[in-house]
């Protein structure tokens, strides 16, 4: 089996319940998902359907009672250095400068090497010159970019991204999408990204996981065409979009039909 075909994440028959005010709340239902090394998988679904919970389970931050979840062939029992996560809320430490936030997880390297890594990643996300600022001195979008830099600086094998571009303006977002794809190809990182932006899910995902409303179950996994999915104006792109919208709106009066002219 070549590396390309190695399943780096394996989730089988996963169910997850939280207990809220002594009542069980079923959040994830019978999730089966295998992710190949070097793959970019995007996840879309209604708010509250369990997307963040699923990522946190993959990361080892939330436990699960039912089913199996493996990373690199081992059951997930907690966070590990090879698996990074960029959280929905950026979670920068307010008392540390941006450069120290980004370098936070960098261990066992020289001071010079650390500084070089931090600065190159800050440059990558367009935050050059802000290394000595504190999180409170940045805008929402800048904080999110700092969190992305922190996630990438550790060069993890797997990077889980929970709506990392949610606070960015549309133009920066498109730029960041291009850059994250370039990084992913260059570093061969396995990336799993939750997003509410359907275009983003199509553009970035080798496969798109479409989830139902809570309790979240996988409705479909759409494999995208590697060339057509990178052309936002292509007919294929519009077809993917229409298919995904149909899952969310087919029982509503929202007009999700996408008209396109060839």
Ligand X SMILES: Nc1ncnc2c1ncn2[C@@H]1O[C@H](COP(=O)(O)OP(=O)(O)OP(=O)(O)O)[C@@H](O)[C@H]1O
Radius of gyration of the chain (CA): 19
The window from 31-39, 44-52, 167-175, 227-235 that contacts ligand X (CB under 6 A) reads 44-52
18 binds ligand X (CB under 6 A): yes
Residue 42 binds to ligand X (criterion: CB under 6 A): no
Choosing among Mg ion, ligand X, none, which partner's interface includes residue 48 (Cβ < 5 to 8 Å by kind)? ligand X
Question: What is the smallest separation between the CB atom of 15 and ligand X, expressed in angstroms?
Answer: 13
Q: How many residues bind ligand X (CB under 6 A)?
A: 14
Q: Which window, 2-10, 13-21, 50-58, 208-216, contacts Mg ion (CB under 5 A)? A: 50-58
Which runs of consecutive H residues, i.e. helices, occur in 154-217? 170-187, 198-204
Nearer to Mg ion (CB atom), residue 88 or residue 144: 88
83 beta partners: 158
User: Binding residue for ligand X (CB under 6 A) from 48, 75, 79, 105?
Assistant: 48
Do 99 and 153 contact (CB within 8 A), yes or no? no
Angstrom distance (rounded) from CA 231 to CA 227: 7
Which window, 19-27, 102-110, 167-175, 200-208, contacts ligand X (CB under 6 A)?
19-27
- Which positions from 197 through 216 interact with ligand X, judged by CB under 6 A? 214
Residue 145 interacts with which of ligand X, Mg ion, none, CB < 5 to 8 Å by class: none
Report the distance separating Cα 108 and Cα 153, nearest Å. Answer: 14
Is 52 a residue that touches Mg ion (CB under 5 A)?
Answer: yes
Binder of ligand X out of 8, 33, 42, 50 (CB under 6 A) = 50
Binders in 84-103 for ligand X, by CB under 6 A: 88
Distance CA 223, CA 13 (A): 21
Q: Decide whether 89 or 220 has the Cβ nearer to Mg ion.
A: 89
Q: If binding is defined by CB under 6 A, does position 53 make contact with ligand X?
A: yes
Query: What's the CA gap between 235 and 112, in Å, rounded?
Result: 49
Residue 243 to residue 237: CA distance in whole angstroms: 10
Residue 69 C-beta: closest distance to Mg ion, Å? 18
Q: Is the dihedral of CA 101, 133, 180, 121 positive or negative?
A: negative
- CB of 204 within 8 A of CB of 177? yes
Question: Are 201 and 44 in contact, with CB atoms under 8 Å apart?
Answer: yes
- Cα 113 from Cα 95, distance rounded (Å): 23
Q: Give the interface with ligand X as residue ranges (CB under 6 A).
A: 18, 20, 25, 27, 45, 47-53, 88, 214
Q: Give the interface with Mg ion as residue ranges (CB under 5 A).
A: 52, 88
């Amino acid at each position: 089996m070549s590396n390309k075909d190695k399943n780096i994440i394996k989730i089988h028959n996963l169910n997850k319940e939280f207990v809220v005010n002594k009542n069980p709340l079923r959040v994830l239902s019978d999730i089966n998902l295998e992710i190949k090394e070097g793959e970019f998988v995007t996840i879309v679904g209604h708010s509250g359907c369990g997307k963040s919970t699923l990522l946190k389970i993959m990361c080892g931050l939330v436990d699960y009672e039912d089913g199996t979840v493996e990373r690199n062939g081992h059951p997930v029992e907690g966070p590990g250095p090879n698996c990074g996560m960029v959280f929905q809320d950026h979670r920068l430490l307010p008392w540390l400068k941006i450069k120290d936030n980004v370098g936070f997880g960098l261990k066992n390297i020289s001071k010079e090497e650390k500084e070089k890594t931090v600065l190159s990643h800050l440059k990558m996300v367009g935050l050059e010159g802000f290394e000595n600022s504190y999180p409170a001195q940045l805008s929402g979008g800048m904080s999110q970019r700092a969190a992305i830099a922190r996630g990438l600086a550790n060069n993890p094998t797997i990077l889980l991204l929970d709506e990392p571009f949610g606070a960015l303006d549309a133009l920066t977002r498109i730029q960041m999408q291009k850059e994250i794809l370039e990084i992913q190809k260059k570093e061969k990182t396995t990336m799993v990204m939750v997003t509410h932006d359907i275009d983003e899910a199509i553009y970035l995902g080798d496969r798109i996981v479409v989830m139902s409303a809570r309790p979240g179950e996988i409705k479909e996994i759409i494999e995208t065409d590697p060339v057509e999915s990178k052309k936002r104006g292509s007919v294929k792109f519009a077809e993917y979009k229409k298919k995904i919208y149909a899952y969310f709106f087919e029982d509503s009066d929202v007009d999700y039909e996408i008209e396109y002219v060839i």
